[in-house]
Amino acid sequence: MTIEDDELIKDFIVESQEHLSDVESQLLTLESQQDGVDVALVNKVFRAVHSIKGAAGFLGFEVLESLAHRGEEVLNRLRNNEMRPTNLVINTLLKATDRLKGLLDSLETSNEQDVTEHIVALERLLNADSAVVEELDRVKKVDAPEEAVPERVSECASQRDSAESISSVIHDAAIVSAVDSTIRVDVSLLDTLMTRVGELVLARNQILQFTGELGNTDLLRTTQRLNLITTELQEGVMKTRMQPIGNVWSKFPRLVRDLAVICGKEVRIEMEGKATELDKTIIEAIKDPLTHLVRNTVDHGIEKPEVRRSIGKPVEGCLTLRAFHEGGQVIIDISDDGAGLNLERIKIKAIEKGLVSQEQVARMQEQEIAQLIFLPGFSTAEKVSNVSGRGVGMDVVKTNIEKIGGSVDLQTRPGLGTTVKIKIPLTLAIIPALIVSCAGNRFAIPQVNLLELVRLEGEQTTKSIEWIQGAPVYRLRGRLLPLVYLRNVLKTNVASEAPQDVINIVILRADDRQFGLVVDRVNDTEEIVVKPLSKQLKGVAVYSGTTIMGDGKVALILDVLGLAYASQVISKMRDGALVDPNGRSKDANGEPQTLIILGTGTSRRLALPISQVARLEKISKEAVEYADQQEVVQYRGKILPLIRLASFLGLESNDTSEDNLLNVVVYNENERSFGLVIDKIIDIVETSLQINHPSAREGLLGSVVIHDRVTDLVDLPAVIRMIDCPSLSQLPSFV
């Protein structure tokens, strides 16, 4: 059983216990009612038992599922007025509920228990006529001998003793149930805690800035400790609110299967990025919209088997769910390989329902026509069914996503399929960002959108920038990237802070496409606290949030995708990639890779894939200790071995820093971490690797040319294998 399965079972136990917590009192309330059955109350009990049955069946707990199923059938009779909540009925249900609780309590240790007695009792109710049940109940009340009472007391005492014994065994075995090891915390309390941590991060940033200016070594050491503690606290608090989106997606395979049967189709579902974590409040907000989109895809998007066969498609349609983080935001794609949207039919239906006029439709482009499906009351279904056709759905999807500050985009290709992209923007988070200046103001760019930095000086400012159809482009390794001048987007006349012969370009990625953002000055990277935009700025597409800098001033966070749309970079690039006819965006060796360029010695350059880098740290030189003749530091509760990369590779080191700090690249392998000590970090670039000169030295793959400079490519796994000290893995962690 995997860790993921263990987590599912724990969540199931906790949620089921919560479902059952109120069932007993609700059943007793039903029994006491004399004026008829409270259907709403019965429905509450029914939903609780139904949820337990469904989850138990999904997880393979057959005993639990069978008992819950029989109880559900009795409750269904009650809510349909086919049975009265007599004493006999309620008593039988209460006993079944007690047994369900007992099964849940022991679920972690055993799933093989006998529930035959309870199932037989429930089936006796189901098989008996309603009048017979009421008569049995009356006879039982009248004829029950008083001697039965002591027997019942004795039975209860006995059960209290087949319970204390189990409890003792569990205690002796030191087994802690999921309920005991889990605590439910109000989301508003977590919001408050997160806000406080955000303020702490802001204060940390200010202290770091002032400490650097003072140059006090003791204060600097204390500040670095504060920085580490704050970072760990921040990560811990954020994790308390995060849940994998797989928790929501786990219900979709069954939903797709059932809908496919109802619609007479064959559909499989594929899911990518199930581990992508989202805030708890976002998880709750997107459950219904995602469910509706999945239903819509099966019902409207994917064709029936005979249709797919006739046009040469596989008989089985495919629905793909994909989730990933981009720019500190969560992107969820719902795609299918179906027929795509019938734009002509959408136009006709929209006009028929009076949602738009003939003249308005005539002026619309294809993308605008596709967006009509989000209008309230729109539906292309010929008849209303239990799946769709009521005209309530896509507009609610859009509304619910926008309520949490998100957006919904739709792309369709006739005959090939449709993709709905949900973008959930930043609400409250702490992310690394690049700080830039333009027109006298500072802006933050989420680091996940950042590819590399380019600085043009002197003649390069005129020679390297070209114009295509009136738009500026920059030639980067044979590829012409569109340029966006931030001051033009801001529509400002404030003089530039950069010298006239200098151009700073930030190469960014938006929607899998690249462009260059021209700014006045590039400052530094730092972790920022993201706060939502004010009402006045929410309508400005180029901003995604705000933050408070170390000096207490406010900076706006740029929405990279919004910038690309506002400057029409995305539309231009979709029309055709701006590639030099004689150039290539990647070489024959394969896909481009993002590399981190390291400096050592006076002129030696090293590179390694950034995918191998877990974290970049600055560690005080005084924190270095020794274990097993190896330099180590205490890092995040563990011992981190240090590798002086230059010395190990036989290269000259030239660490001229005067701040008493080591530049360390943290690398993880097989649940272990290593720290590479380097002189400096020069750049982060994306390039295709073409090894021009293979290396005979172990630890180096060879030499490549990056930005017209010869650079050695480090074989990091080989380096670790050569110096790995097995005894270090046995050292204890610090508490």
Higher-pLDDT residue of 724 and 644 is 644
Mean pLDDT of the region 712-721: 80
Residue 495 maps to a domain:
yes
40 with 74, same domain?
yes
DSSP 175-195: ---TTTT-----HHHHHHHHH
Pairing verdict, β 441-446 and 554-558:
parallel
d(CA 298, CA 278): 25
End-of-domain residue from the set 149, 172, 195 = 172
Summarize pLDDT for 273-313 with one digit per residue, the tens: 988 888 777 887 888 889 889 988 898 889 999 999 999 99
Domain final residue, candidates 575, 609, 627: 575
Residue 676 lies in a domain: yes
Does 254 lie in the same domain as 374? yes
CATH classification of the domain holding 253: 3.30.565.10
Name the token pair of 734: 């610090």
Distance (Å, rounded) from C-alpha 494 to C-alpha 497?
A: 9
Q: State residue 304's pLDDT score.
A: 92
Q: Residue 108 contacts by C-beta under 8 Å, 6 or more apart in sequence?
A: 9, 13, 175, 177, 178
- Return the minimum-mean-pLDDT range out of 113-117, 561-565, 718-722: 718-722
pLDDT given at position 705: 83
Query: What gap in Å lies between CA 402 and CA 420, rounded to an integer?
Result: 14
414 lies in some domain? yes
Q: What's the CATH number where 85 sits?
A: 1.20.120.160
Same domain for 420 and 313 = yes
The tokens describing 208, both together, are: 């770091």
Can you tell me the distance from the alpha carbon of 429 to that of 299, in angstroms, rounded to the nearest whole number? 37
- Give CA 282 to chain center in angstroms: 10
Asked if 477 and 580 touch (Cβ cutoff 8 Å), the reply is no
Q: Which of the listed ranges 37-51, 144-158, 489-503, 565-579 does the model predict with the highest average pLDDT?
A: 37-51
pLDDT tens, 183-220? Answer: 767 767 877 887 788 788 878 878 887 777 777 778 88
- Looking at the structure, tell me whether residues 112 and 194 fall in a common domain: no
406-423 pLDDT, tens per residue? 778 888 888 889 999 988
The enclosing H or E element of 153 equals: helix 148-160
Give the structural domain span for 686: 593-730
- Let me know if residue 587 belongs to a domain: no
Q: What pLDDT is stored for residue 144 in this prediction?
A: 43
CATH code for the domain of 607: 2.40.50.180
603 and 557 part of one domain: no
Could you tell me if residue 382 is inside a domain? yes
630 and 714 in a single domain? The answer is yes
The answer to whether residues 473 and 483 belong to one domain is yes
- The predicted pLDDT at position 474 comes to 86
Token pair of 641, please? Answer: 């071995």
In this predicted model, what pLDDT tens digit does every residue of 537-579 receive, in sequence order?
A: 766 778 878 888 877 788 888 888 778 878 877 654 433 333 3
Query: Is the same domain home to 326 and 464?
Result: no
* Helix orientation angle between 187-214 and 280-296, rounded to the nearest 10 degrees: 120
Residue at 506 is within a domain: yes
Other CB atoms closer than 10 Å to residue 569's CB: what's the count? 26
Quick check: is 177 in a domain? no
> Which residues does 276 contact at the CB level (< 8 Å), separation at least 6?
244, 245, 323, 324, 325, 330
CATH code, domain with 197: 1.10.287
Quote the CA–CA distance of 47 and 726 in Å, as a whole number: 55
Per DSSP, the residues of 248-272 read HHTTHHHHHHHHHHHHT--EEEEEE
Number of domains into which the chain is organized = 5
Nearest alpha-carbon partner for 317 in 377, 282, 266, 363: 266
Higher local confidence (pLDDT), 383 or 23 = 23
Give the pLDDT confidence score for residue 111 in this predicted structure: 57
Stretch 481-494: mean pLDDT: 84
Same domain, 100 and 191: no
* Residue 267 · residue 337 · CB < 8 Å: no
Q: What is the mean pLDDT of residues 721-730?
A: 53
Nearest by Cα to 237 from 444, 13, 472, 430: 430
Contact 457, 498 (CB under 8 A): no
- Coil/strand/helix, residue 493: coil
pLDDT digits (tens, 9 = 90+) for 315-374: 999 999 999 887 567 889 999 999 888 888 888 888 887 878 887 778 777 777 888 888
Q: Please tell me which of 319-333, 373-387, 590-604 the model is most confident about, judged by mean pLDDT.
A: 319-333
More confident: 641 or 398 = 641
393 and 437 in a single domain? The answer is: no
**Residue at 121 is within a domain:** yes
pLDDT digits (tens, 9 = 90+) for 239-263: 787 788 888 888 788 788 888 888 8
Last residue of a domain, one of 424, 448, 471: 424
Phi first, then psi, for residue 322 (nearest 5°) are -135, 130
Claim to verify: residue 60 and residue 156 sit in the same structural domain:
yes
Do 445 and 338 share a structural domain? Answer: no
Mean pLDDT of the chain, nearest integer: 76
Percentage of the residues of the chain whose pLDDT score is greater than 70: 76
DSSP H or E run through 227: helix 217-241
Determine whether 167 is exposed, middle or buried from the number of CB atoms within 10 Å of its CB (0-12, 13-18, 19+).
exposed
